[in-house]
Chain A
């Protein structure tokens, strides 16, 4: 069981979702976050005030998957999120102790397997 956490550009979210759905990754959570990577600086001016934006809007995806699904998931995210410019984001793969499905109380592999698919 792994938790894949990815931080990506908001404008690539649609591509990443499409690419994940193509890879049959079904369960995921997203949140809008702000972060600082190595982006080139972004300067904005409001009347006399010039500011450098050190935090950039990002989207964080959290996806719980069974071990053999880690690679296709990561590849799908990279596929969808990459622009080649600094600031494309990061993917973290974390170990997970337990996963429960709230509706049924199913545990681990059964819990991360989408409804209607036979756990293998």
Chain B
């Protein structure tokens, strides 16, 4: 066991905080794109993941992902944080490694919410993401990072292209299908309530993503520096290509397009961050813009109400990134982790494809079973009337943009209002 390194610990402390911030950032990214009557609900779908998924991770998820049992699933030795102490895990304290991984579980579960906003009831949603993080996320994390079979097969996933993005996107599509489309979907225009929120969210996601990717080096080292620089370069290229596509197609560079481009670039570089050279990171980011751009346009014309396009951004972006990792990976840059097809190892591309396929199959299958089971004990959807009124009021009893007119103060739990407003109006 190498001793604990002060530098590595310091960087991971910062990286953990950065990744935790990605979940509120995602809330703002998503929250800007829904209608005003569902703004709080959409933000809460991310914020509540911080609580419920975080707790499930501490009690069970971490052990399922990083316990040592079989190549398929972790064991129970870390349940309830038993044995997660100050001892070294690599060069950082074990507790810090646990917390760092927890932030990933939280944001992955929150990502799914993008496909079911504006119609799923809040209680079943909480139950779903909490269970999902333990029975779907944790096993896949084990396969790739926890000493499981995909890692041993040689799949390259630096920071979670398969585990986080392809996984969340597959689950999101299944949820959108099972929960069903919004009542207004494809019947009337559903416009974003606050585009500046979406840009703010995308900006904060980018900031947090430096912790996500560069932190995945698990140390303050050359690999972290490479991942950091690639996390800067890839979205830059995606943003440029996306803007040019926008300009060519509609003669307008859209703001939501820019926010989406940044996220797509970040998703695509995630599996490759510490494995490819900076110049190929630019190439990867540029290529990644194209499939996601057209996937977005195509999806909107289908019956699939993946409302905030989790599949087009995280699924398609994640698949492109994971495949291109198998093309551009270069031993000279990744400390011998592997070469991609461009540098002579075609097998790597095959391994990447296997990892992608297995992740999609397991995630979609297990999510389907989980959502169907939940639908037996609770109704997943808000009623049509509730959907019309908006989920902010019907699920949370609050409004994002309330105006005080006509609000009568209820004191000490009295249900009768002290003001005579209601009675006078009725008698009139």
A positions within 8 Å CB-CB of B: 9, 11-12, 14, 34, 36, 38, 42-46, 49-56, 83, 85
Contacts and interface: CB of A to CB of B under 8 A. Distances in A.
Contacts of B399: 44
B406 interface: yes
A53 B397 CA distance: 11
Contact of A49 (B184, B409, B421): B409
A117 B216 CA distance: 69
B404 to A, nearest CB: 8
B405 A52 contact: no
A36 B425 contact: yes
20 contacts: A9-B388, A12-B388, A14-B184, A34-B405, A36-B406, A43-B410, A44-B393, A44-B399, A44-B402, A45-B397, A50-B409, A51-B409, A52-B408, A53-B407, A54-B406, A54-B407, A54-B417, A54-B422, A55-B406, A55-B407
Contacts of A11: 388-389
B188 interface: yes
Interface of B: 184, 187-188, 385, 388-389, 393, 397-399, 402, 405-410, 413, 417, 421-422, 425-426
A42 B421 contact: no
Contact of B397 (A36, A44, A83): A44
B398 A46 contact: yes
Nearest to B187: A14
Interface of chain A: mostly helix, strand, loop or mixed: strand
* Listed residue (A42, A45, A56) with the most chain B CB atoms within 10 angstroms of its CB: A42
Contacts of B188: 14
A45 B40 CA distance: 13
Given A34-B405, A50-B410, A54-B406, A43 B421 contact: no
A85 B421 contact: no
B16 to A, nearest CB: 30
A44 B293 CA distance: 40
B421 A54 contact: yes
Pairs A-B, 5 closest by C-beta atoms: A55-B406, A11-B388, A51-B407, A54-B406, A50-B410
B393 A42 contact: yes
A83 B385 contact: yes
Contacts of B422: 54
* Listed residue (A42, A50, A83, A85) with the most chain B CB atoms within 10 angstroms of its CB: A50
A38 B426 CA distance: 8
Contacts of A54: 406-408, 417, 421-422, 425
Given A14-B187, A52-B417, A54-B421, A43 B406 contact: no
A12 B426 CA distance: 25
Given A51-B408, A54-B406, A54-B425, 9 more contacts: A14-B188, A34-B406, A43-B410, A44-B393, A44-B399, A51-B410, A52-B410, A53-B407, A54-B407
Given A9-B388, A11-B388, A54-B422, A44 B398 contact: yes
A90 to B, nearest CB: 14
Contacts of A83: 385, 388
Contacts of B409: 49-51
Nearest to B416: A52
A112 B426 CA distance: 36
Contact of B407 (A9, A38, A52, A85): A52
